[in-house]
C-alpha cells in the first residue's frame, strides 16, 4: 500500500545520496517522538525506514534529528514493505519563525 501527500510538484529533481543514521522525529502537532532509520538524504528531503508501528503521519509536519542534521519536513509518502515495515519519504520545509521559536525554547530543557 502506498500513501502520498500533495507536497510539491518537485518529484525529486535533486538526487539523494545514501546516508544511514539512526534518528528521531518529533511530530509538530503532538510532540510525539518516533525512532526511525534514515536511509538516504538530499537538501530537499530524506528517505526513512520505520518499524511496523506507524501512527497516522501522512502529510504531517515533523522535525527530524539525524546525526548532525536537523530538518523541518512534511511526510510526503509512505510505502508498506513486504515485511510489514515502512519506507517513509519526507520533503524539507523552510523553517518558520514559529518552529524556530519552539526549537530554541525547548533546547536543553529535557530532564530539567
pLDDT of residue 13: 60
Cα–Cα dist 108/58, whole Å: 29
pLDDT of residue 31: 86
Does 111 reside within a domain? no
Task: Please give the chain's pLDDT, 112 residues, in tens.
Answer: 565 554 444 454 667 789 999 999 999 888 899 999 999 999 899 999 998 777 789 999 999 999 889 999 999 999 999 999 999 999 999 988 988 887 788 765 555 5
Domains contained in the chain, number: 1
Does 101 reside within a domain? yes
pLDDT of residue 14: 65
For the chain, counts of helices (H) and of strands (E): 1, 7
Contact 28, 12 (CB under 8 A): no
pTM as predicted: 0.78
CATH number at residue 76: 2.40.10.220
Q: How far is CA 28 from the centre of its chain?
A: 11
Does 57 reside within a domain? yes
User: Which of these, 81, 7, 79, lies nearest to 44 by C-alpha position?
Assistant: 7
pLDDT of residue 78: 93
Amino acid at each position: 500500500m502506498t500513501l502520498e501527500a500533495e507536497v510539491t510538484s518537485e518529484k525529486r529533481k535533486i538526487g539523494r545520496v545514501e546516508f544511514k543514521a539512526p534518528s528521531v522525529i518529533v511530530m509538530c502537532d503532538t510532540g510525539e517522538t518516533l525512532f526511525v532509520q534514515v536511509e538516504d538524504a538530499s537538501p530537499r528531503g530524506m528517505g526513512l525506514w520505520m518499524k511496523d508501528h506507524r501512527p497516522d503521519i501522512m502529510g504531517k509536519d515533523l522535525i527530524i534529528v539525524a546525526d548532525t542534521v536537523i530538518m523541518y519536513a512534511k511526510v510526503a509518502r509512505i510505502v508498506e514493505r513486504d515485511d510489514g515495515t515502512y519506507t517513509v519519504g519526507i520533503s524539507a520545509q523552510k523553517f518558520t519563525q514559529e518552529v524556530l521559536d519552539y526549537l530554541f525554547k525547548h533546547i536543553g530543557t529535557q530532564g530539567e
